[in-house]
Amino acid sequence: MKIAVIGTGYVGLVSSTCFADTGHSVIGVDINEKIVERLSRGECTIYEPGLEEILSYNLRQKRLRFTTHLSEAVSEAEVIFLALPTPPGADGSADLSFVKKASLDIAKLAKAPKVLVIKSTVPVGTAEIVQGIVREACPDFSIDVVNNPEFLKEGNAVYDFMKPDRIVIGCSTESSRKVMEKLYAPFLRNNHPVFFMDNKSAEMTKYAANCFLATKISFINELANLCDEVGADIESVKRGFTSDYRIDPAFFHPGIGYGGSCFPKDVKALIKTGEQNSVPMKIIQATDDSNQYQKLWPYRKLKAHYNGNLSGKRIAVWGLSFKPKTDDMREAPSIDNILKLIEEGAAVSAFDPVAMEKAKEVLHTGVHYAETRDETLKGADALIVFTEWNAFRSVDPALLAEHLNDRVLVDGRNIFDLTQTKANGLTHYLVGRNSILK
Ligand code: NAD
């Protein structure tokens, strides 16, 4: 099939590359000329394991190409995906301007029937709005609007796209359903289901998934904080309560909260949808509040350790991206903490295996970017771990004890073994596990 993907960021690039890899002919469109130039050379513009190889393979096979010209894509493609940003507006609602504008442009350019698939995460009712826009701008041909939310996880995106747990498709016509069935047929060899439903239910499904996962994170974090106060160990508690078959242990990792481009904005957008429909979303609101608080856990621990005075302290930082195996810095907890440390007079030396270039765009002053993990430790008083990259897990605590002047380790992802750090004389702060020190 001939496919166009509008927007070649984290979702659009993975989608276009994976569709091409299963034999479809794909044209990716982006307004950013530099992105298009780099992708056309086979250079991956995001860090995503395994992506660059299939990108360059499919470029060579001529099943994939990139352009800044929307008209070229619209004239060639039968199916057009929108993988455009839906950032939070000032009031927390999803900003649909990218999606609406592109839909209008596509409708004006269309000279034959199309299926227009919204892959961006959009609030309930968006497909209906977009259907109205395209019907008015293109009265001569049918453009069927379909909602097909994306569930890939950054860092595992190629695998998730190629072998999805499920595919959700909201559509309202038999012909668009047939097109989507044909399109996804190569991805369903693992027998995972395709759920066809109406557009509104598909739109809601995506928010339900992200908001539930965000709630799991906030739930375990609040329990962990309480464990620290009352002298319980969150890992024992977690083993105990998740052994109930009704409680899935997956995604219950105590830490410094969620970040990234999806959970924070999708949580806010669902709260807004509730507000607009006079339905209080109290649990989701609490999830958001709890996460705002949890994000600054490292800063609070360190500040308390130094009796409220961080001035002149030299802090090593390991990990900047919001999670491992991605360079995505959007809403990463590291940002707010580092800004606070700098504001209060601390010096920061940071290392991340892949996110430093993107980090420099948001944290441009006051941070020394080290070439290696261990360089950050030179002259440092304390270490904060923000991201659980594998390269940090295997570090010998003796190395930390040798280099850190104050032997303070703020372990925001609970990756170090407390018995070993204690044996090396480190003061080790973990989330919800400090009772085992006693
Ligand atoms: P992104 O910011 O990485 O990529 C968006 C791309 O669209 C950018 O390259 C930008 O230059 C391009 N763009 C903007 N306006 C354009 C236009 N008019 N024409 C062509 N290109 C244009 O965004 P993303 O992370 O890929 O997210 C896209 C959507 O997918 C969002 O709604 C997001 O919520 C959703 N989503 C994201 C993920 C994820 O893990 N990142 C997962 C599931 C769903």
Which CATH number characterizes residue 334's domain? 3.40.50.720
As to burial, measured by CB atoms within 10 angstroms (0-12 exposed, 13-18 middle, 19+ buried), residue 372 is exposed
Mark residue 20 as left, alpha or beta (left: phi above 0; alpha: psi -120 to 50; beta: remaining): alpha
Q: Residue 434: its pLDDT value, please?
A: 83
- What is the model's pLDDT at position 255? 98
Are residue 182 and residue 277 in the same domain, yes or no?
no
* Main-chain phi, psi angles of 194, to 5 degrees: -110, 125
Is residue 48 domain-resident?
A: yes
Does residue 411 have its Cβ closer than 6 Å to ligand 1? no
Do 425 and 328 lie in one domain? The reply is yes
Inside any domain, residue 436:
no
Alpha-carbon distance of 357 to 334, in angstroms, equals: 14
pLDDT grade, residue 268 (50/70/90)? very high
Spell out where 273-346 has E strands. Answer: 314-318
Do 402 and 278 have their domain in common?
A: no
Q: Does the CB atom of residue 259 touch ligand 1 within 6 A?
A: no
CB of 102 within 8 A of CB of 75?
no
3-state secondary structure of 66: strand
Nearest to 87 by CA among 9, 177, 169, 196: 9
Query: 262 CB less than 6 Å from ligand 1?
Result: yes
Band of residue 438 on the pLDDT scale cut at 50, 70, 90: low
Mean pLDDT of the chain: 96
Q: Average pLDDT of 351-362?
A: 97
DSSP, residue by residue, 216-237: HHHHHHHHHHHHHHHT--HHHH
Please, which pLDDT band fits residue 364 given cuts at 50, 70 and 90? confident
Catalytic-residue membership of 262: yes
Query: Do residue 182 and residue 223 come from a single domain?
Result: no
Nearest-angstrom CA–CA distance, 316 and 95: 37
Q: For the residues 248-272, what does the mean pLDDT come to?
A: 97
Q: Is the pLDDT of residue 435 over 90?
A: no
Say which CATH number the domain at 287 has. Answer: 1.10.1040.10
Confidence (pLDDT) at 330: 97
Is residue 434 assigned to a domain? no
- 164 & 36 share domain: yes
Q: What percent of the chain has pLDDT over 70?
A: 100
Res. 403: pLDDT tops 80: yes
For residues 24 and 147, state if they share a domain. yes
Given ligand 1 and candidates 14, 30, 205, 326, which is best to mutate, with the most ligand atoms within 8 Å of its CB? 30
Pocket of ligand 1 contains residue 150 by CB under 6 Å = yes
User: Which of 293, 316, 337 lies at the terminal end of a domain, its last residue?
Assistant: 293
Q: Are 375 and 357 in contact (CB under 8 A)?
A: no
pLDDT tens sequence across 39-98: 999 999 999 999 999 999 999 999 999 999 999 999 999 999 999 999 999 999 999 999
For ligand 1, say whether the CB of 88 is within 6 Å of any of its atoms. no
Q: Does residue 231 carry a pLDDT above 90?
A: yes
pLDDT for 186 equals 87
Residue range 323-336, pLDDT digits in tens: 999 999 999 999 99
Residues 158 and 32 in one domain: yes
- For residue 387, the enclosing domain spans 296-429
Q: What is the pTM of this model?
A: 0.96
Note whether 176 and 278 are same-domain residues.
no
In a domain, 28, yes or no: yes
Q: Are residues 192 and 217 in the same domain?
A: no
pLDDT 10s digits, 35-48: 999 999 999 999 99
How many structural domains does the chain have?
A: 3
Does residue 202 sit within a domain? no
Query: What distance in angstroms lies between residue 121's CA and the mean position of ligand 1's atoms?
Result: 9
Inform me whether the pLDDT recorded for 210 exceeds 90.
yes
**Ligand 1: which residue has its CA nearest to atom 7?**
7
Confidence at 116, pLDDT banded by 50, 70, 90:
very high
pLDDT band at residue 437 using 50, 70 and 90 as cut-offs = low
| Alpha-carbon span 414 to 221, nearest angstrom | 12
Summarize pLDDT for 24-35 with one digit per residue, the tens.
999 999 999 999
The C-alpha atoms of residue 12 and residue 42 are separated, in whole angstroms, by 15
Query: Is the confidence at residue 365, as pLDDT, over 90?
Result: no
Q: Are residues 159 and 40 in the same domain?
A: yes
Nearest CA to ligand 1 atom 8: 9
pLDDT band at residue 188, thresholds of 50, 70 and 90? confident
